[in-house]
Amino acid sequence: MTRIALLAAAALMISAPAFAQPDTAQPAAAPADAAALTLTFDVGADTGRIMVALFDSAEAYGGRGAPIGQTMVDVAAGQRTAAFAGLKPGPYAARIFHDVDGDGQMDTNPFGMPTEPYAFTNNARGNMGPASWERANVVVSGPTAQTITLR
């Protein structure tokens, strides 16, 4: 038992200088080829929040995967911009809706049609549903900005 206690004490003494060293770790820098997408929203109402989901593939955008990024823009507080930084260069598409009444969900009529403003990147429009990936995706290779009109 004494031997185990001595070994444990020796291990702590040997490693103590490592614990005493100042933390010199730097946060991981974004890759040199990192891209960014900034979306600015043109809205009709100054209430509620804009919900944004960003996708990096047609499969995920089509509902067979998760968004790679999500954010909420507080329109009532005067915000109008969403930014996604540190992206890998490539195609991205966003689904966006303006939760005007602030209930946290997109309101629809009895037929399932949205009653709150919505949009997609490239201001793409869908035909009886969301805009296609082909219309909505934007290739991001550096700082990229779009103004999106919510309708």
Give the domain CATH number at 57: 2.60.40.10
> What is the span of the domain harbouring residue 135?
35-149
Residue 109 lies in a domain: yes
Residue 133 lies in a domain: yes
Q: Is 112 left (phi over 0), alpha (psi -120 to 50) or beta?
A: left
Rounded Cα distance, 131 and 133, in Å: 7
Total domains, the chain: 1
Residue 25 lies in a domain: no
Residue 29 lies in a domain: no
Residue 14 lies in a domain: no
Residue 130 lies in a domain: yes
pLDDT per residue of the chain (151 residues) written in tens, 0 to 9? 443 333 333 333 333 333 333 333 333 445 666 899 999 999 999 999 999 999 999 999 999 999 999 999 999 999 999 999 999 999 999 999 999 999 999 999 999 999 999 999 999 999 889 999 999 999 999 999 999 999 9
